[in-house]
A = this chain, B = another copy of it.
């Protein structure tokens, strides 16, 4: 994630006219050698190995957190207290309790803040948002999202440490629920409505793995797979699923919305396309439209290349950086703020609790779900 964030701040001024031009002032990593190599590669002006130095430094305006989940709360709270703007990788906390403390800190400090739910800034997803907001879909009946991966199927894969902390429950907080479903939930609530209640199941297919830090075979604490049924606050039904055991899928985040008049489908593996069906089209020639999101009138795309030429994954981070810097010019925080991201942590907490208790769980802070 360090690379995607550094790239975002490095590239944003090349493609966007913004009121503020970011400077890559300092990079922090525990290993000084790697920090220095990274700084050299990306042009950071300095290097620290203790994040507290960053937080205290007078020449730092913004602290951007791209470290493992168990560090988010401590760093963000300290940074906010020091009056720094804070951007944080998702999920905000390992759980809603951590996230609540983070929200309190940034709001108390009055600092700009944002969470890197980067998929909102895929141009196709941003277009979907515009279309929903324009009322094109009519009343929404169904929302469906999946995030499928296959990288942990081998039982030889260890857990913990460098590159594998996502398998370590103590560091990550949870497995696919916080890692993958969090993305799905953030987009869903943004595009559709709040989630009122959930019924979930989780599974850990491989029960124990060697831990890289202890060297011992230890129980796996994370969820390998997580699926849930949901009722949204607007009366629509949701189905969600994430797993790292779906052979053949690397990062297949898909979402579909079915409305009274129209439906939308999107897929991260072909992120530059949006599938759109509109029942109001003439019946005889009606069909799902494969919209190639490369034209100047598509969100963000006037900043890139001529029509027909696609952009990729890292551009979503550049767009978020651009929106953050543009919002700064207006004295605002670009969404999702910490407060907005907290709502996703409430849902993931409810999912984990529902799976543990084998019952429907109401999401904290949700309005009444329109259950029949």
Interface residues of A (CB under 8 A from B): 3-4, 6-7, 10-11, 13-14, 41-42, 127, 131, 137, 141-142, 144, 148-151, 153, 199-205, 225, 227-229, 231, 237, 239, 241, 243, 245-252, 258-263, 268-274, 276-279, 281, 283-292, 294-295, 297-298, 304-315, 358-360, 371-372
A43 CB → nearest B CB, Å: 8
- Of all chain B residues, the one with the shortest Cβ separation from A225 is B237
Secondary structure class of chain A's binding surface, majority of residues: mixed
List, sorted by A's number, 23 A–B pairs whose CB atoms are closer than 8 Å.
Answer: A3-B14, A13-B41, A14-B41, A141-B225, A148-B258, A200-B229, A201-B371, A239-B239, A245-B258, A247-B279, A248-B258, A248-B277, A249-B263, A250-B307, A268-B309, A269-B292, A281-B289, A287-B290, A289-B290, A304-B312, A310-B310, A311-B312, A359-B359
Q: How far is the CA of A269 from the CA of B295 in the complex (A)?
A: 12
Closest 3 CB pairs of A and B: A250-B308, A251-B308, A248-B277
Contact at A229–B228, with CB atoms within 8 Å?
yes
A229-B229, A247-B259, A291-B286 as given contacts; A308 in contact with B268, CB under 8 Å:
yes
Contact at B285–A263, with CB atoms within 8 Å?
no
A41-B14, A241-B144 as given contacts; A263 in contact with B248, CB under 8 Å:
yes
Contact at A227–B229, with CB atoms within 8 Å?
yes
Q: Which residues of B contact A290 (CB under 8 A)?
A: 287-290
